[in-house]
Structure formats: C-alpha cells, structure tokens
Amino acid sequence: MAKLVSKVYGDALFEEALKKQEVDALFEEVNSLQVIWHENQSLAELLNNPKIVKEDKIGIIKNIFGGRVSDDLMGFLAVIVDKGRQKEIPAICEYFINAVKEYKKIGVAHVASAVELNEGQKARLVEKLLNTTQYVDFEMDYQVDPSIIGGMVIRIGDRVVDSSIKTQIYELRRSLLKLQLT
C-alpha cells in the first residue's frame, strides 16, 4: 500500500513539475525536504500524532516551510497532510527524486568490491556503465565487502551484475553437487 501511495503522489508531483517546467527547482526542494525530514524525527512524530487535528498539522507545515519552499511544494505538502498521508512523505520524496533521475537519465549504481577501488578503476567503471546503459550520468555508491573475495557486484535499480569470486565459487559448488547426484 505504501508503494502505491508514494507512486500516486510522486507521479502527481512529477507531472506538475513537468507541466510547469520546474523539474530542476522542485528536485532541489524535494531533496532538501527529504534531508530535513530525516534529520528531524520529532517533526514526523508531531505530524503523526493522532491527538493533533489536521488543521493544526497543516498550520505546523506552513509555519515551518512557508516562505522557504515554493507555493507548489507547500500546497502539495498541505494536501498530503490533509489526506492523512504524512507518514508517506519520505517515500513520496524518494519516489519523486528517482523519477526525476530517470527523466534526466541519471543512473544510481551501487558497487560492492572486495577492496577499495582506486580513482582509475572507478573512472573506467563509470565509462563502461555509460557505454552499456541508456544513462548519460551516474551517481556512484561504492562499498567495500571483503566477503565477496574478489570481483564486484553492481546493482542499478533492480538489475544486478555479480562477478564476485564468492558467487563463482558458489556456482561451481552447485555444479559439482549436481554431478554427484546423477
């Protein structure tokens, strides 16, 4: 249900940004809103408090963000709170941010390697990803995971390329076990 809510509201915000040709401006605002939301758990707790009526919650939103965000985003937040969906604000922001990145053809790649990659390796990896995908730019997230032994695991959205030694050993083991069973 939460995914459906974030998709509906995120798509609505994205379509409005496209229609008004304010994708970049709204993208920056939503990014900032997401940071504020994650850093201020008390704000989320306050807005999720069932003892506070909707009108007061909308007033809180207007007091905090009024004059600091565009009227479009302010109105959007008021609608979300009015509909009782304030718990979904982080997911809606995340959905909108991802929609803008897809629109701008910016990929997000999560790379796990057994050892830290040097700058040359990172540059070659980005170049290879740009040449083999439809993206024009990438946001890279590098992590070191010694458990993969060697190679790397690259995740872009729901696609995974696993060239780790750990996986190769696992596949070899499975193949050998099949040989013994027949």
CA dist., res. 68 & res. 33, Å (int): 10
Domain's final residue, options 76, 102, 128: 102
Average pLDDT value for residue range 109-135:
96
CATH at 95: 1.10.520.20
Q: What percent of the residues of the chain are helix, what percent strand, and what percent coil, each to the nearest 5?
A: 65, 15, 20
Summarised one tens digit per residue, pLDDT across range 37-81 is: 899 889 889 999 999 999 999 999 999 988 889 999 999 999 999
Global confidence as pTM? 0.81
Domain's final residue, options 83, 102, 121: 102
User: Which residues form the domain of 118?
Assistant: 106-181
* Same domain, yes or no: 41 and 122: no
Q: Give the model's pLDDT for residue 66.
A: 86
Indicate if the pLDDT at residue 4 is higher than 90: no
Indicate if the pLDDT at residue 97 is higher than 60: yes
Who wins on pLDDT, 167 or 4?
Answer: 167
Indicate if the pLDDT at residue 35 is higher than 60: yes
> Residue 49 has which token pair?
């408090």
CA 148: distance to chain centroid?
A: 25
Domain's final residue, options 74, 102, 130: 102
Decide the pairing of beta strands 152-156 and 159-162.
antiparallel
* Same domain, yes or no: 26 and 95: yes
Indicate if the pLDDT at residue 110 is higher than 80: yes
- Domain total for the chain? 2
Average pLDDT value for residue range 23-47:
92
Average pLDDT value for residue range 108-120:
96
What's at 55, amino acid-wise?
A: E
Indicate if the pLDDT at residue 1 is higher than 90: no
